[in-house]
Structure 1
Amino acid sequence: MSVTKTNTFMQAGSRGKSRRGRTPSIDMEKIENAVREVGAQMEDISMKDVADYLGVNVTTLYRHVGGIDGLRRIRASLSRSDLPALPPAKGHTWQSWLKVLADYYRQALLQHPDLLDFVQAALDPDFLNLEQEASILVKFGFEPRAALLAHSFLITTITGYVQQELQTIEEARSGYAPYYSRLFQNLDAHPDRLPTLSTVNLSQRDLDRDVNFKSIIHYAIAGIACQKGAPSDPDKKL
């Protein structure tokens, strides 16, 4: 994405150079602050934007972070720190809790798309969320391995959905009809060309992203329930 640079980044570096007469020293704390400040003003960040803010050249920044992926990891880590705690399981069955958990992760990824680049590595770098989720699922009656697989399947499903969801949002912003909107147009114009799909009787409700997400998660949970090691009592509540 092409972004017009503001004077803020250049001024930050210029002040540092004029005050010290040499390239300012940087550390991870300063880099994290720069990523936070630069990232607040644009959807994507670049090595040059952050280097300009810090008043150093790109090579100096590269030595500290190893490239743009390093900066994006820092940004994802900062986003992770803004997320609320995992939703409690008290009063839920395992199915209803996974639905709440799925919505928690979906909202986190929609609000912080930079997390999608690294997903679990960014969402749970120290594995504490995974431990907490697995522990809760075991209390519901999952075998430990089945709990781990359930988490993995759920995260993979959510990630794929959100990636498509963000693409649909971007297409709509750009004035390009999203995939399923084009399907509607084709069904209206040429129903005989798509006879099987024409029998589905699609409506505008089928374009509702929230409704579709609930349907996808319903299918995912139904699949998890069929796996070896899933709870034998689906009605158990914590």
Structure 2
Amino acid sequence: MQKPIIMFDMDGTLLDLAFDDLIWNHKLPERHAETHQCTLEQSQNILKAFYQQHNHTLCWYSSKYWTEKVGVDVLQLQYEHKDKIAPRVGCFELLKQLTQQGYRCWLLTNADCAGLKLKLENVDLSPYFEVMISSEEIGYSKEFVEFWQILQKQHPFDPKYACLVDDTAPVLKGAENFGIQHLITITQPSSLRAARHALELEYPAIHDLTELLPILSHLENKDVDVKTA
């Protein structure tokens, strides 16, 4: 079997989702309350309603959209706390080994272009990837089959020989609906939250990213579907 293209999500997969938790669930409500002179609880309720309304849409991932929606410069807020951006356990060890073993790696993120730029300025993932895409460039978030269809037109690949690692079940479902064969999720996207139990997740799960290596070795030795293995 040929080596699969390894497609990685960024936030919650390669990078610790703790940063995004901090921004969206703590710092933004605080700044929103200060800006609009309301209580923190009121801000939390307002933002929670907005989040639920737009969950998994392209707007949900857009700092420009949220800046206009809530009257707080969300991108500036992220830059103020950029020192909290950090890789997950095993991130660089895995990427170095994949490079040494000749795997092609793609970074596919729902973070908007500005967010992707911010993350890469603080954790230099770029040397390990031949393709780096924000869903903002595609026009659909990864939850939608259209994202994968457009991606394939721009960067041709065989979904039978692709492996996606992502912490979000609806994204993995979108990829599965498109036909990507090998799907892996993450037990603990954020170090601020307890790990999810692997048996309760819909897709095979890893904790330390280097756990992906024996899975890939298994794939190359046996032509199996990871999802049903």
Normalised TM-score (structure 2): 0.30
Higher strand share: 2
Greater relative contact order structure (CA < 8 Å, 6+ sep) = 2
State TM-score, norm by structure 1: 0.29
More helix by share: 1
